[in-house]
Structure 1
Amino acid sequence: MQVRRVGHSGLEVSRIGLGTMGFGVSSDETASIDIVRAFLDGGGTLVDTAPVYAEGRGEAMLGSVLATLGVRDDVVLASKCVVGVRDGRVVQDASRGMLLRQLDASLEALGTDHLDLWQLHGWDDRTPLEETLSALEIAVTSGRVRYVGTCNLPGWLTALTQATSLARPAGTGFVSAQVQYSMLERSPEAEVVPATEHLGLGLLAWSPLARGVLTGKYRHGTPADSRAANPAWAAYMDPFLDAESTAVVDALLRAADGLEVAPAHVALAWLRDRPTVASALVGVRTPEQMTALLASEDVTLPPEIIEALDDVSSPDGWES
Structure 2
Amino acid sequence: MISRRGVGRSGLRFSSLSLGGMTFGSNEAFGAIGSDPTEAARVVALALDAGIDTFDTANVYGESEQLLGRLLRRRRDDVVICTKARFPTSGHVGDGLPPSSSYGLSRAAVVRSVEASLRRLDTDRIDVLWLHMQDRSVPIEETLSATDLLVRQGKVRYLGLSNFMAYRVAEAVLTARARALEPPVALQVPWSAVSRDVERELVPAARHLGLGVAVYSPLARGFLSGKYDRGAEPVVGSRLGEWRDEFARYDSDRNWAVLAALRETARAHQVPVSAVSLAWLLARRPVVSVVIGARTEEQLRENLMAADVRLTAEEIARLDKVSEPDWGYPESFIARFEPW
Secondary structure in 1 aligned to 2:218?
coil
Q: Determine if the alignment matches structure 1 residue 191 to structure 2 residue 201.
A: yes
- Computed over aligned residues only, the root mean square deviation of the Cα atoms, in angstroms, reads 1.6
1:20-71 Cα deviation digits (max 9, x unpaired): 10011311111111111010100001100110113xx32122222223xx22
Give the equivalent residue in structure 2 for 1:306. Answer: 316
Cα distance in 2 between the residues matched to 1:86 and 1:259 = 45
Contact map agreement 1:42 1:291 (CA 8 A) in 2:
no
Q: Determine if the alignment matches structure 1 residue 152 to structure 2 residue 125.
A: no
Secondary structure in 2 aligned to 1:85?
coil
Contact map agreement 1:94 1:132 (CA 8 A) in 2:
yes
Give the equivalent residue in structure 2 for 1:237. Answer: 247
**Between 5-14 and 304-313, the greater mean CA deviation after superposition:** 5-14
| Structure 2: gaps of 5 or more residues | 26-30
Contact map agreement 2:269 2:309 (CA 8 A) in 1:
no
1:51-106 Cα deviation digits (max 9, x unpaired): 0113xx32122222223xx2222211001112222455787411101110111110
1:38 aligns with one of 33, 46, 60: 46
Aligned positions of 1:45-56 closer than 5 A: 45-54=53-62
Give the equivalent residue in structure 2 for 1:4. Answer: 5
Give the equivalent residue in structure 2 for 1:224. Answer: 236
Q: Determine if the alignment matches structure 1 residue 98 to structure 2 residue 83.
A: no
Cα distance in 2 between the residues matched to 1:127 and 1:281 = 29
1:138-196 Cα deviation digits (max 9, x unpaired): 11000111110101112111111111111113x11110000100111111110111111
**Between 212-221 and 306-315, the greater mean CA deviation after superposition:** 212-221
Aligned positions of 1:42-191 closer than 5 A: 42-54=50-62, 57-67=63-73, 70-87=74-91, 92-169=103-180, 171-191=181-201
1:271 aligns with one of 275, 281, 284: 281
Deviation beyond 3 Å, 4+ runs, structure 1? 86-92, 317-320
Secondary structure in 1 aligned to 2:221?
coil
Cα distance in 2 between the residues matched to 1:21 and 1:53 = 5
Secondary structure in 2 aligned to 1:83?
coil
Cα distance in 1 between the residues matched to 2:246 and 2:65 = 23
| Superposition deviation, residue 277 in structure 1 | 0.4
**Quick one: which amino acid aligns to residue 12 of structure 2?**
L
Cα distance in 2 between the residues matched to 1:241 and 1:143 = 46
Shift of the 60–167 alpha-carbon distance from structure 1 to 2, 3 Å rule, reads same
Cα distance in 1 between the residues matched to 2:240 and 2:84 = 27
Q: Could you tell me the TM-score, scaled by structure 2's length? A: 0.88
| Structure 1: gaps of 5 or more residues | none
Give the equivalent residue in structure 1 for 2:307. Answer: 297
Give the equivalent residue in structure 1 for 2:20. Answer: 19
Contact map agreement 1:213 1:241 (CA 8 A) in 2:
no
1:208-243 Cα deviation digits (max 9, x unpaired): 11111111211252222222222xx12333222222
Cα distance in 1 between the residues matched to 2:9 and 2:145 = 22
How many pairs does the alignment contain?
313
